[in-house]
Structures are given as C-alpha cells and as structure tokens.
Structure 1
Amino acid sequence: MKILVIHTAFIGDIVLSTPLLKRIKEVYPEAKITYVTTPIGATILRNNPNVTEIIEYDKRGSHSGVKGLLALGRRLRYENFNMVLTPHRYLRSSILAWLTRSPKRVGYDIASGSCLFTDKISYDKSKHEVDKLLSFIGEVPSNSREKYPIELYPNKKDIDAVDKIWNENNFNNQEIIAVAPGSKWFTKKWPLEYFNEVIDLLVENGKKVIVIGGKDELYLNVNIQQGVLDLRGKTTLLELAEVLKRVKVVLTNDSSPIHIASAFKKTSILAIFGPTVKEFGFFPWSKNSEVLEIENLSCRPCAIHGGDKCPKGHFKCMLDIKPKQVYEKILQILKRV
C-alpha cells in the first residue's frame, strides 16, 4: 500500500496533520506514506516514524508555475500511489493530486478543484481541524484527543542544541515562560506594548522569559532585558519544539506556536484570540491550554485569518484584553503546574 499526503499550507496546518499520519499507520500498518509539503513544512515533519518519504514542493522556487507543477506531478505519477489524501483546499494541490493518476484521490468537498477527487470528505466547520483531518480515514473516534496527539520528533542534535541554551542561561529548574508575539496577520497580533508589559511584570516577579519566533519577528521591538532570552530566528522548528517542551507556559497569538506546543503534555498554553474564534477549529489540541478572548463582541469573527486592519476601526477584540489580566492568568497557571 502506497499512500500520498499533499499538504502545503502554513506550519501550524502541517503540525496539525501529524495525528492523521498516526491514524493512517493504524489502519494501514504496512503502508508506505509519502508526504508532499513546503520546504519549511518538511523541517517540522523530519524524524516522524510514520512517514516513509518527505517530498518538498517549493511553490515559489524550483516548482514555481505550471511547469514546476507538471514536473512534480510526473514524478508522483511514477510512484503509482494507491491512495492520495489532499487536506489542502487550494486548486494547485487538487491538480497535483489528479496528476498522480491514483485510483483513489480524497479531498474536501469545498476545495477548489474538488471535481478532480474520486472521493469527497465533508468539511465540517464545527469540528477541530485535527478531527477534520482524521475524517479522511473513516469515522473519527470520540476520544480522538487522547488517542491521536500531535507528535513532533526533535532528534539528538536538536536536543543537544537546546541543552546548550539551557546550560548557558542557567535555566534548569526555573519557571520559564515562552512568549510568541508574532503572526503573519496584523489583526491576530495582540499589541506589542501589551506583550512588553507582561514581560516586564514577569521579570519583576523573578520569572525567566524566552521570546520565540522566526526571522520575520525580528523587526518587533520586544523589550529584551535581563531575564529575557531572545531566540527569534535562532532555532530550527524542531529545536523550537524542544524549547516549548521544556517551558512551563507559552503565551501566544493565534499562530503556529499553539500547535507546536500542543505536542507536549506538560506545557501549558495561553492563547490570545482576537478576530478569530475557537469555532474555526484551530484552538489548542492540548487539554492543558486556555484561550483568552472577548466574548459577545458582535463583530467577531471578522475573518478566518484576520487581516491587515480592524474593519471597524476600534480593534476591541485585542485592545480589551489587558496585560494585567494576562499576567495574572499566567501566575494562576504556574500555581497549578
């Protein structure tokens, strides 16, 4: 049995697909699973024992345009896959699935190019994204959150790199809070001055803070001070996963750190949701998590990904979540763990 998964969305989406890989192996234990994803998606999937091969689809580089799509399609066709699963709902992925000529091509009924699938899965907006993905392989069990956790696999090199960070900063046996102030979408970002105020309060209270993010977050004017370690742009994704495994609390916007941290049972997650809502299905899969949001705000949600500015001009969904409230919530969490 040869199974292909095509998913070329954001990092968080790829992380959320790891329970599906476990489910495939459970139902088809002898299957060889190939996963087509973006180069950055490939980095978070490395070392996953459920994946036989990862193929990088560089949509903006070597596989850009129609020529690149067709070239990758030809390569995949030669593999003679028995089944292709396409969680990504965009036309390019649907075409790529069709180019494989697999006899069974499964995708969402609302996907662009869904007519190219042989089997369509209902996209149930009421379900968590993980449960949506699990529906690609039959009925989803009621205990899916316990049975199909998010799984990430830092290797020895990743662990050694984080060991070095911990030793150099005397982090062993410390209560460490990771702060992730970034997001690709402006309105999904809790105000930076609010993050800085929380960082100041944590440092004053003797807590250690690690600021995380990619190179895109380096432009954010975070208040780096004594007691704050800046790891933005300095770790691989699996090194970041190992960092989040070791901290007590992750404070984050509605962004990929939610899903990376959800892989670790001992890490508590405090997620701030503004323009988006839990009902979109992208809330933390971990039970050890909380979402802070302004409920009963008539303009929420405004868009599934947020936007470049508040459509109403007041940005209450974020501005009304105050730093002191977030700080006190973190202290409450620390008392429980």
Structure 2
Amino acid sequence: MKILIIHTAFIGDIVLSTPLIKRIKEVYPESKITYVTTPVGASILRNNEDITEIIEYDKRGTHSGFKGLIALGRRLRYENFNLVLTPHRYLRSSILSWLTRSPKRIGYDTASGAILFTDKVKYDKEKHEVEKLLSFMGEIPKNSREDYPIELYPSKKDTEIINRIWEENGLENEDVIAIAPGSKWFTKKWPLEYFNKVIDLLIENNKKVIVIGGKDEMFLNVHTSKGVIDLRGKTTLLELAEVLRRVRVVLTNDSSPIHIASAFKNTRIIALFGPTVKEFGFFPWSENSEVLEIEGLPCRPCGIHGGNKCPKGHFKCMLEIKPEKVFDKILQALKR
C-alpha cells in the first residue's frame, strides 16, 4: 500500500498531522507513506520512522507557478499511489492530488477544488484539528487525545546542541520558562510590553527564562539584558522541540509553539488567545495546558487567523489579559 499525504500549510498544521501518520500505520501496517509538504514542514517531520519519504514542495522556488505544480504532479503520478490524503484545503493541493491519478483521493468537503477528490470527509468545525485529521481514516477513535499524541523526533545531534545550551547556562535542575512572543498575525500577538513585564517579574523572582522564536521575532525589543537566554533565530525546529521538551512552562500566543510543545507531556502550556477562539479547533492538544482569553467579548472571534489590526480599534481581547495574572498562572504551574 503506497499512501501519499499532501499538506503544505503552516508549521503548526504540519505538527498536528503527526497523529494521522500513526493512525495510517495502524490501519495499514505495511504501508509506505510519502509526505509532500513545504521545506519548513519537512524540517519538523524529519526522523519520523513511519514516513518513508518526505518530498519538499517549494512553492517559491523549484516548484513555483503552474509549471512547477505540473512538474511535481508528474513526479508523483509515476509513484502510482494507492491512496492520497489531502488535508490542505487550498486549490493547488487539490490539483496536485488530482495530478497523481490515484484511484482514491480523499479531501475535505469544504476544500477549494473538492470536485477533484474521489472521496470527501466532512470538515467538522466543532472538532479539534487532530480529530478532523483522524477522520481521514474513518471514524474518529475514542480517547484520541490519549492514544494519538503529537510526535516529534529531535535527533541525537539536536539533543547534543541543546545539552550544550543547558550546560553553558546552568539550566540543569532548574525550572525553565520559555517565552514565545511571536506570531505571523499582528492581532494574535499579546502586547510586547506585557511579555516584557512577565519576563521582568520572572527574573526578579530568580526564574530561568528562555525567549524562543524565528528570525522574524529577532526584531522584537524583548527584555534580554538581565540573564534571559535568547534563542530567537538560533535553533532549528527540531532543536526548538528539544528545548520545549525540557522547559517546565511555555507562554505563547496562538502560534506554532503551542502545537510543538503539545508533543511533550511534562511541559505546561499557557496559551494566549485574543482574536481567535478554542472552537476553531487549534487549542493545545496536550491536556497539560491552559488557554487564557477574555470571554464574553461580542467581537470575538474576528477571524480564523487574526489580522493586521483590531477591527474595533480597542484590542480588548489582548489588552485585558493582564501580565500580573499571567505571571501568577506561571507560578501556579511551577508548583504542580
């Protein structure tokens, strides 16, 4: 059985698909799984032994434009896949699925180009994203949160790199808090001055703090002058996963660190939700988590991805989550 997954969305979406990989292997133990994703998505999936091959779909490079899409589709067609699963709901992914000419192509009923699938699954907005993905293999299993965890696999080299960081900064046997202030969307970002207030309070209380993020977050004026360890732009995604495996608490916006940290049972996740809501299905899969939000605001949610500015101009959904409350939540988590 040769099975293809096509998923070229954001990092968090790719991370959330790992339980589906486990489920496929349960249903088809002898199957060979190929995964088509972005170069960034490929980097977070590495070392997963259930995946036979990862193919990078470089939309802005090798496979840019319609010609690039056709070229990749031609390559996939030669593989003669028995089954193609396409969780990504964008038209290019639907076309790519059709180009494989697989006899069975499954996608969401709400996807752009859904007519190109041979079979469709219901996109149930009331389900968590992981449960939606598990529905590609039929009925959603009971106890799916417990039985189908997010799985990431930092390599030995990744572990050694983070070992050095821990040793150099004296983090062994310390309660470390990771702070993730970034997001692709402006309104998903808790105010930077609030993050800085929490960092200052933690340092004043002799806590160890690591700031995480990609290169885009390096331009944020985060307080890092008082012993804060700044790893922004300095780790690969799997090295970041190893960092989040070791910390006691991660404070994060509604962004990919939520889902990466959900792979590790001992990491407490405190997630800040402003314009988005848990009902969209992208809340932490880990049960060791808490979502902080301002309930009862009539303007929430204002969009599935947030936006570049608050439509109402007051940004209450984030401004009313006060840093002192968040600091107290972190201290409570450390006492558990």
- Tell whether the structures are fold-level matches, with TM greater than 0.5: yes
Distance 2:319 2:103 in 1: 51
Aligned 1:36-55 pairs, distance under 5 A: 36-55=36-55
**Separation (CA, whole Å) in 2 of partners of 1:50 and 1:153:** 11
Distance 2:63 2:334 in 1: 47
Deviation at 1:226, TM superposition (A): 2.5
Query: Which residue does 1:66 correspond to in 2?
Result: 66
CA distance in 1, matches of 2:242, 2:216: 21
Check if 1:177 corresponds to 2:182. no
- CA distance in structure 1 between the aligned counterparts of 2:122 and 2:226, rounded to whole angstroms: 51
| Residue identity in the other structure for 1:89 | R
**1:222 alignment counterpart:** 222
Counterpart in the other structure of 1:204: 204
In 2, the alpha carbon distance for the partners of 1:311 and 1:4 equals 40
Is the CA contact 1:207–1:227 (under 8 Å) kept in the aligned structure 2? no
Question: Which residue number corresponds to residue 84 of structure 1?
Answer: 84
1:293 match:
293
Match of 1:102 in 2: 102
Q: Distance in 2 between matches of 1:275 and 1:50?
A: 36
Q: 1:3 matched to which residue of 2? A: 3
Q: Where does 1:115-264 land on structure 2 (aligned, <5 Å)?
A: 115-264=115-264
- Give 3-state SS (helix, strand or coil) of 1:252's partner: strand
Deviations along 1:46-87, one digit per CA (max 9) or x if unpaired, are: 000110000000001110000000000000000000000000
Secondary structure at 1:44 match in 2: helix
Question: What is the alpha-carbon distance in structure 1 between the residues aligned to residue 145 and residue 17 of structure 2?
Answer: 13
Question: Residue 244 of structure 2: SS of its match in structure 1?
Answer: helix
Q: CA deviation at 1:330?
A: 0.4
Q: Which residue does 1:265 correspond to in 2?
A: 265
Q: Where does structure 1 differ by over 6 angstroms across 4 or more consecutive aligned residues?
A: none
Distance apart, 1:227 and its partner CA: 2.5
Write the deviation string for residues 250-276 of structure 1: whole angstroms up to 9, x where unpaired.
000000000000000000000000000
In 2, the alpha carbon distance for the partners of 1:245 and 1:226 equals: 24
User: What is the rounded CA distance, in whole Å, between the counterparts of 1:193 and 1:49 in structure 2?
Assistant: 42
Give the unaligned 5+ runs of structure 1: none
Query: Which residue of 2 is the match for residue 320 of structure 1?
Result: 320
In the aligned structure 1, how far is the partner of 2:176 from the partner of 2:205? 12
Structure-2 separation of matches of 1:216 and 1:226? 22
Cα distance per residue 1:168-224 (max 9 Å; x no partner) = 000000110000000000000000000000000000000000000000101100011
- Figure out how many residues of one structure are paired with residues of the other and give that number: 336
- The SS at the match of 2:250 is strand
Q: Tell me the TM-score normalised to structure 1 length.
A: 0.99
What letter matches 2:89 in structure 1?
Answer: R
Q: 1:225 Cα deviation (Å)?
A: 2.0
CA distance in 1, matches of 2:279, 2:60: 32
In structure 2, what is the Cα distance between the partners aligned to 1:197 and 1:225?
A: 13
Q: Give the Cα–Cα distance (whole angstroms) in 2 for the partners of residues 138 and 206 of structure 1.
A: 50
Q: Quick one: which amino acid aligns to residue 2 of structure 2?
A: K
Q: 3-state SS of the aligned residue for 1:210?
A: strand
Distance 2:141 2:34 in 1: 24
Distance 1:31 1:229 in 2: 43
- 1:23 match: secondary structure: helix
Gaps of 5+ in 2: none
Instruction: Give the deviation of 1:142 after TM superposition.
Output: 1.9
